[in-house]
Amino acid sequence: MAIRKQCIGIDISKSTFTACLCQQAEDGKLTFSKVLDFGNDSKGFNQLLRWVKGLIVSDSELVFLMEATGVYYENLAHHLYKIKKRVHVVLPNTSKHYFSSLNVKTKTDAVDARILSQFGIERVHKLWSPPPSTLLQLRNLTRYYVQLQEQKTTLGNISHSKDCAHDIQVFITKSNKKLITEIDKEIERCLKEIKKAIEKEDVLKEHVRKVLTIKGVGLITVATILAETMGFEQFHSSKQLVSYSGYDVVQRESGTSIKGKTRISKKGNRYIRNAHYFPAMVACR
């Protein structure tokens, strides 16, 4: 029987990725290939394509589907896009709901790849295209800015503890202060680069200008949110954005015996949550 749809499901991590082919016949029946692991590098990408070529039916549509797992999916997605392959990149929470609908209890790389390939067949997804390089550069800069601030906080804590310590060497105190001074300089340089990145693109510049009119919202907050969401390209509702940021509410209640506290899940993008912290504090006041 003729094959109607084909999808390669890819479960990806830092060093490797796992792939599975799902094919749907005209009568709706699904068949799955064996699952293979590949290196998350150019050699692994080429091995994947050779493997796929030996399995697929050439006259039927083929798509590749993967989750937006950190930054680990980006090189493969860009590689496939560059060679004119059809690529779907889905938010982890979106695929999680699909997994739940199938009542999947086992979680391994092989199982995830298989279910993702089925997900690509049974649901309609938007074709992925690379985000503007300006947003990628902005994301790199805003994340580096956060990392510099975290290093400064760590050194500040060390400085406080050393000030309270008995008979501390002068070298340690001076060295710590010197490091803090250098990090302050790098923070200023990074902030200038963030401003330059925003100035490069008129649309981005206008978005930032409008959002900055909100009380308590600063440049870093706006830049971080726009960069981490890639201009909200993958989001179709506010609920998706809330879930992606880890602000979705978790409740744990059952009858009269279990009355857990309501809290946010924090299972999302930490950079967005960090960026919202101080604006939220200002709004509360």
Co-location of 149 and 264 in the same domain: yes
Domain's final residue, options 64, 91, 122: 122
Are the beta carbons of 77 and 46 closer than 8 angstroms?
no
Co-location of 85 and 145 in the same domain: no
Say what the pTM is. 0.76
39 vs 213: which has the higher pLDDT: 39
Average pLDDT, the chain: 87
Distance CA 152, CA 158 (A): 10
pLDDT at position 135 over 60: yes
In a domain, 211, yes or no: yes
For residue 67, give its domain range. Answer: 3-122
pLDDT, tens digit, 9 for 90 and up, residues 54-90: 999 888 889 999 998 888 999 999 999 999 999 999 9
Identify the band that residue 230 occupies on the pLDDT scale cut at 50, 70 and 90: confident
- Exposure string for 243-278, b = 16+ CB within 10 A, e = fewer: bbbbbbeeeeeeeeeeeeeeeeeeebbebbeebbee
Nearest residue to 99 via CA among 85, 76, 116, 75: 116
Co-location of 148 and 274 in the same domain: yes
pLDDT at position 43 over 70: yes
Co-location of 33 and 145 in the same domain: no
In a domain, 127, yes or no: no
pLDDT, tens digit, 9 for 90 and up, residues 186-226: 999 999 999 999 998 888 899 899 888 887 888 999 999 88
